[in-house]
Amino acid sequence: MERRKTRQVVVGNVPVGGDAPVSVQSMTTTKTADVEGTLAQIYALAAAGCDIVRCTCNEEEAAEGLAHIVSRSPVPIVADIHFQYKLALAAIEAGVHALRLNPGNIRKPEHIKLVASEARDRGLPIRIGVNAGSLDPDIAEEFGGATPEALVASAVRELDYFREVDFDDVKISVKASNVPLMIDAYRLLAETVDYPLHLGVTEAGPPPAGLVKSTAGIGTLLSEGIGDTIRYSLTADPVEEARAGRTLLEALGLRERKNVDLIACPSCGRAEVDVIQVATAAQQALEARNIPLQVAVMGCVVNGPGEARDADLGIAAGRGKGHLFVKGHVVRVVPEAQMVEALLEEAEAIVAEGIEARIAAADANAEAIAAAEREQLIELRGVDVNHSLDKIARIREIADD
């Protein structure tokens, strides 16, 4: 997909916009004054694929906490500012890498411009974080509520204040909890400005609904080339936000795979094992080792290897055995109880030796054994699993009437 051309800002050491990869963000849920607790969460987020972390700066103790956190964080820190502009100044003094300001609750132009001037002098970017739930009352009245035009107008007015003090190191978000509103607002914003955009569906709620809403909004825009950094706003452990964001970017081909991409059949009456249990166990084992392969778990050997032939590695169950395949080539047949263990061993071998080497090292009899078992299953269950011959005969009767 062709991405929208934007300016670029740099948050710490992470570029946002321009030709930079789409980055993943999240926000800590700890009290920022709790330095050790906040750092523990930041490190967990970084391990899950988070590129930038935001921390609230809602009181003086939080700003003091940031002074300790920033120097020890593995990723850039953004201070989230609400209502009190002086806390933005305090966060800058604490050494944060960027600010997030909500135009809906810091409204005095002199305060906004003062913060922008200080950020300009320190070389810090600011995210203009417009939110449908906290829109400026006068803008809401002018546009008849939180419409896409109202959200964009709020961002543009903030930009005008920034320009008055010669500050344009900016990225922008126009979030809403309503997905169609969020999509329309970002589309309009993308047509209006050339600044990098931070995507998110605010207050999306807990999984699975929150994941679905966030993916619907963020994924739609990314597929259109809109968006430079993203955050899933879930009512859950923020590590889930980071994982979801990273998974989405990898699924869209916007980031290189860092961990396993596990594909699995949804199971059906042909399945020879509990696909859900095997897939879950395999995912947990592979994720724990950060294995960056596409791995397939298939419930039957009749269609499994063919349907998942493009996977780096996979296993298909059949009659008490697992057919282990690499790029569609069966390399081993293992007992059903050892399927997950075999997957893990082969995945680690692929990472160490490469796919071609593992195909070359295949058990010489594996393909023949697998082919024979597939034929037995086909004979046992019958080729015409859809009763197609009976249906064709009936179709002909109907057509001839």
Domain boundary assignment for the chain: 8-251, 261-381
Query: Is residue 381 pLDDT above 60, yes or no?
Result: no
pLDDT digits (tens, 9 = 90+) for 16-75: 999 999 999 999 999 999 999 999 999 999 999 999 999 999 999 999 999 999 999 999
> 109-122 vs 85-94: helix axis angle to the nearest 10?
10
Question: What type of residue is 102?
Answer: N
Give the pLDDT score at 395: 82
Q: What is the mean pLDDT of the chain?
A: 92
pLDDT digits (tens, 9 = 90+) for 89-129: 999 999 999 999 999 999 999 999 999 999 999 999 999 99
Distances in Å between the Cα of 162 and the Cα atoms of 38, 168, 388 are 31, 7, 68
Confidence of residue 160 (pLDDT cuts 50, 70, 90): very high
CB atoms within 10 A of CB 285: 16
Q: Which of 53-67, 77-91, 160-174, 383-397 is least confident?
A: 383-397
Q: Mean of the pLDDT values across residues 186-199? A: 98
pLDDT digits (tens, 9 = 90+) for 288-324: 888 999 999 988 766 666 777 789 999 988 778 888 9
Closest CA to 343 of 286, 382, 385: 286
Give the pLDDT score at 385: 46
Give the pLDDT score at 389: 66
Domain 8-251 fold is TIM Barrel (3.20.20)
Distances in Å between the Cα of 330 and the Cα atoms of 14, 15, 358 are 42, 43, 11
Q: Whole-angstrom Cα distance, residue 331 to residue 348? A: 15
Confidence of residue 267 (pLDDT cuts 50, 70, 90): confident
How buried is 133 (Cβ within 10 angstroms: 0-12 exposed, 13-18 middle, 19+ buried)? Answer: exposed
Q: Percent of the chain scored above 90 by pLDDT? A: 75
Beta strands (DSSP E) in 33-163 are: 52-56, 77-81, 98-101, 126-131
* pLDDT: which is higher, 400 or 229: 229
Question: What type of residue is 107?
Answer: R
The DSSP line for 147-177 is -HHHHHHHHHHHHHHHHHTT---EEEEEEBS
Give the pLDDT score at 100: 98
Give the pLDDT score at 95: 98
Give the pLDDT score at 117: 98
CB atoms within 10 A of CB 389: 10
* pLDDT: which is higher, 351 or 385: 351
Query: Is residue 383 pLDDT above 60, yes or no?
Result: no
- Which CATH entry fits the domain spanning 261-381: 3.90.700.10, 3.30.413.10, 1.10.10.10, 3.40.1710.10? 3.30.413.10
Q: Mean of the pLDDT values across residues 275-290? A: 90
